[in-house]
A = this chain, B = another copy of it.
Amino acid sequence: MEDLETLLKQYKHYQDLHLDLNMARGKPCKEQLDLSMPMMDVLNSQADLNCEDGIDCRNYGTLGGISECKKLLGDIIEVDPSKIIIFGNSSLNIMFECVSQAYTHGILGSTPWCKLDKPVKWLCPVPGYDRHFAITEYFGIEMINIPMDENGPDMDLVEEYVKDPYVKGIWCIPKYSNPDGTTYSEATVKRFAALKPEAKDFRIYWDNAYSVHHLYRDKEDFLLEILEQCEKAGNPDIVYKFTSTSKISFPGSGIAAIASSPNNCAEIKRWMGYSTIGYDKVNQLRHVRFFKDLDGIKAQMRKHAEVLRPKFEAVESILEEELSDLATWSKPNGGYFIALKTKGIASKVIARCKDCGLILTEAGCAYPYHKDPEDSLIRIAPSYPSLEELELASRILCLSVKIETLLNK
């Protein structure tokens, strides 16, 4: 490694460029958004806006979504359409509502969480997704870290914790997880499906956000379908599965859905019926008419991969070149993130990058209460910047890791 003086000189050079770089959020870039522009033509003023069931999608009603959209989203996450309920544009919004309803009204007859004598607890595989943790924090739920390894969350710990009747849920991103790209092993999925929690209202929040979001055609991770496993294990009601087209079509204007057992779906449709007359069916129809079927989705995802893959490879190659002795990082086969693990200097590196015009997700973001116990993790989101910006940003990041390593020896 270069000496500190040389490194600081390079750093000063970058500072003088007054850069404005951002690797903070998992947002698709313009090229990816452009891939869905033909979708804007499929429903023009001459189009028939009746769906297959003969329902006029422009009018009120059809709580739970139109049949062909249930089929399409069901195919994406390998679930029968009868188990799918379509909401609006945000799966996060569905998760929030599920927690909120459990808090105010309880689940399948159990005591509403707001009426319990003690706060609810929640298992949080770490590192994980900041917006998940924000929801449970907002409801005053006590979050418990569960370490992840290459097979998923530590299932010994999960099985132990669910003996506590106040443990009511767990956040999971089972495929190409945010941020470390892990896909849960078959054994892990089976252990989830076979969980015997003390709380009858314990639910696995299975956020399958990246189910078809592969980077490589020859290296696609495989995830066992959990609803079927839960049924086999005699545990059909234990899981809520979520999906959306946010990173397939347009992030702000896609379609989101929940899949679950008949009991859970009936309950969800009941409270949904109080909160709306129905979600946007024209947009549901637009998505179906554009993508047509799972093959259409897969073709679209290959185009996304062609945009994303060079970006991931660029970052990984610079990390390899610069940091091989100083840090470790994930090499995901899909999803939106690279997890860079430093030796206890994450917050200092992130601050140093910021002083050089590079915004990274804030330190601790991947942990409940924003507390990374080892101050180790830096989440890299390579999707949004251009390849050129990304290379520059990666150099600055590596330089900052080197400088902070020397300063904190």
Closest to A29 in B: B59
A45 engages B41 (CB within 8 Å)? yes
Q: Is A89 an interface residue (CB 8 A)?
A: yes
B27 engages A59 (CB within 8 Å)? yes
Min C-beta distance of A116 to chain B, whole Å: 11
Residues of B contacting A44 with CB < 8 Å? 40-41, 44
- Among the stretches A131-139, A159-167, A206-214, the one at the interface with B is A131-139
Q: Is A278 an interface residue (CB 8 A)?
A: yes
Within 201-228 of A, Cβ neighbours of B (below 8 Å) are at none
| CB contact under 8 A between A93 and B250, given known A33-B59, A104-B103 | no
- Among the stretches A7-15, A190-198, A279-287, A369-377, the one at the interface with B is A279-287
Residues of B contacting A45 with CB < 8 Å? 37-41
Min C-beta distance of A401 to chain B, whole Å: 28
B56 engages A33 (CB within 8 Å)? yes
Residues of B contacting A317 with CB < 8 Å? none
Closest to A135 in B: B274
Bound Cα distance A37, B56 (Å): 13
Bound Cα distance A394, B114 (Å): 49
Total copies of the chain:
2
Q: Is A25 an interface residue (CB 8 A)?
A: yes
B60 engages A27 (CB within 8 Å)? yes
| Chain A 169-191 interface mask (CB, 8 Å, partner B; 1/0) | 00000000000000000000000
| CB contact under 8 A between A58 and B134, given known A40-B47, A104-B100, A139-B104 | no
Closest to A101 in B: B100
B40 engages A275 (CB within 8 Å)? no
Closest to A33 in B: B58
Min C-beta distance of A92 to chain B, whole Å: 6
A276 engages B60 (CB within 8 Å)? no
Q: Is A236 an interface residue (CB 8 A)?
A: no
| Chain A 10-43 interface mask (CB, 8 Å, partner B; 1/0) | 0000000000000001011010010011111101
B280 engages A253 (CB within 8 Å)? yes
Within 46-67 of A, Cβ neighbours of B (below 8 Å) are at 47, 56-62
| CB contact under 8 A between A28 and B59, given known A43-B40, A114-B114, A139-B104 | yes
Residues of B contacting A344 with CB < 8 Å? none
* A59 contact from B100, B251, B283, Cβ within 8 A: B251
Bound Cα distance A41, B42 (Å): 10
Q: List 17 A-B contacts (CB under 8 A).
A: A27-B60, A36-B58, A40-B45, A41-B44, A58-B251, A58-B253, A59-B250, A59-B252, A60-B251, A90-B278, A92-B277, A114-B115, A250-B282, A252-B278, A252-B280, A253-B281, A253-B283
Q: Which 5 A-B pairs have the closest CB atoms?
A: A114-B114, A96-B275, A253-B282, A58-B250, A60-B251
Given A40-B44, A96-B276; 16 other pairs, CB 8 A cutoff:
A27-B59, A27-B60, A33-B59, A38-B45, A60-B246, A88-B280, A89-B276, A90-B276, A93-B275, A100-B104, A103-B104, A103-B114, A104-B104, A135-B275, A252-B278, A253-B280
User: Residues on A close to B: CB < 8 A?
Assistant: 25, 27-28, 30, 33, 36-41, 43-45, 47, 56-62, 88-90, 92-93, 96-97, 100, 103-105, 112, 114-115, 131, 134-135, 138-139, 246, 250-253, 271, 274-283
